[in-house]
Structure 1
Amino acid sequence: MELIQDISRPPLEYVKGVPLIKYFAEALGPLQSFQAWPDDLLISTYPKSGTTWVSQILDMIYQGGDLEKCHRAPIFMRVPFLEFKVPGIPSGVCVLGARGVEEDRAGASAHQTFPDPLLRDGDSERHSSTTTPEDTPAPGSAPPDSVGSEGQAIRASTEEPSAAQNPKREIQKILEFVGRSLPEETVDLMVEHTSFKEMKKNPMTNYTTVPREFMDHSISPFMRKGMAGDWKTTFTVAQNERFDADYVEKMAGCSLSFRSEL
Structure 2
Amino acid sequence: MEIPDMSSLKLHSRPEMFDFEGISMTHFFTDNWEKVKNFQARPDDILIATYPKAGTTWVSYILDLLYFGKDDLERQTSKPIYERVPFLESCFQDLKGTEMADHLPTSPRLIKTHLPVQLVPKSFWEQNSRIVYVGRNAKDNAVSYFHFDRMNKVQPEPGDWNNFLEKFMKGKNVFGPWYDHVSGWWEKKQTYSNLLYLFYEDLVEDTGREVERLCSFLGLSTSGEEREKITKGVQFDAMKQNNMTNYVTVPFMDFKISPFMRKGKVGDWKCHFTVAQNEEFDEIYKQKMKNTTVKFRTEI
- TM-score, structure 1 length as denominator? 0.84
Matches within 5 A, 1:61-100: 61-65=66-70, 67-87=73-93, 90-99=95-104
- 1: CA distance, partners of 2:299 / 2:244: 29
* Match 2:231 to one of 172, 176, 191: 191
Task: Give the aligned partner of residue 177 of structure 1.
Answer: 217
- 2: CA distance, partners of 1:136 / 1:17: 21
**Contact 1:46–1:113 (CA<8 Å) still a contact in 2?**
yes
Higher helix share: 2
* Match 1:251 to one of 267, 289, 300: 289
In structure 2, relative to structure 1, the CA distance for the partners of 1:169 and 1:179 (3 Å cut) is: same
* Match 1:203 to one of 238, 243, 252: 243
- 2: CA distance, partners of 1:218 / 1:252: 40
What CA deviation, in whole Å up to 9, does each residue of 1:147-195 have, x standing for no partner?
Answer: xxxxx99765422222111100100111111111111111111111111
In structure 2, relative to structure 1, the CA distance for the partners of 1:93 and 1:220 (3 Å cut) is: same
Unmatched runs of 5 consecutive residues or more in structure 2? 1-8, 156-173, 176-191
- 2: CA distance, partners of 1:153 / 1:105: 24
Matches within 5 A, 1:32-111: 32-65=37-70, 67-87=73-93, 90-99=95-104, 104-111=105-112
**Are 1:28 and 2:68 counterparts?**
no
Shifted more, 136-145 versus 79-88: the winner is 136-145
**Contact 1:41–1:153 (CA<8 Å) still a contact in 2?**
no
Shifted more, 47-56 versus 33-42: the winner is 33-42
Shifted more, 133-142 versus 9-18: the winner is 9-18
- 1:21 positional shift: 1.8
Q: Which amino acid aligns with 2:107?
A: A
- 1:256 positional shift: 2.2
**Are 1:236 and 2:274 counterparts?**
yes
Q: Which amino acid aligns with 2:89?
A: E
- 2: CA distance, partners of 1:44 / 1:81: 10
- TM-score, structure 2 length as denominator? 0.74
- 1:64 positional shift: 4.2
Q: Which amino acid aligns with 1:163?
A: L
**Contact 2:132–2:197 (CA<8 Å) still a contact in 1?**
yes
How many residues matched?
Answer: 246
**Contact 1:10–1:21 (CA<8 Å) still a contact in 2?**
yes
**Contact 1:65–1:189 (CA<8 Å) still a contact in 2?**
no
- 1:105 positional shift: 2.7
RMSD: 2.5
- 2: CA distance, partners of 1:36 / 1:232: 41
- 2: CA distance, partners of 1:205 / 1:215: 14
**Contact 1:59–1:70 (CA<8 Å) still a contact in 2?**
no
**Contact 1:23–1:85 (CA<8 Å) still a contact in 2?**
yes
- 1:112 positional shift: 1.4
Q: Which amino acid aligns with 2:217?
A: F
**Contact 1:80–1:95 (CA<8 Å) still a contact in 2?**
yes
In structure 2, relative to structure 1, the CA distance for the partners of 1:120 and 1:54 (3 Å cut) is: same
Unmatched runs of 5 consecutive residues or more in structure 1? 146-151
What CA deviation, in whole Å up to 9, does each residue of 1:8-64 have, x standing for no partner?
Answer: 402335432333221321121222333222211111111111111110011001114
What CA deviation, in whole Å up to 9, does each residue of 1:84-138 have, x standing for no partner?
Answer: 12136x2211212223xxxx33241112121244233334455552212110012
In structure 2, relative to structure 1, the CA distance for the partners of 1:134 and 1:86 (3 Å cut) is: same
**Are 1:114 and 2:115 counterparts?**
yes
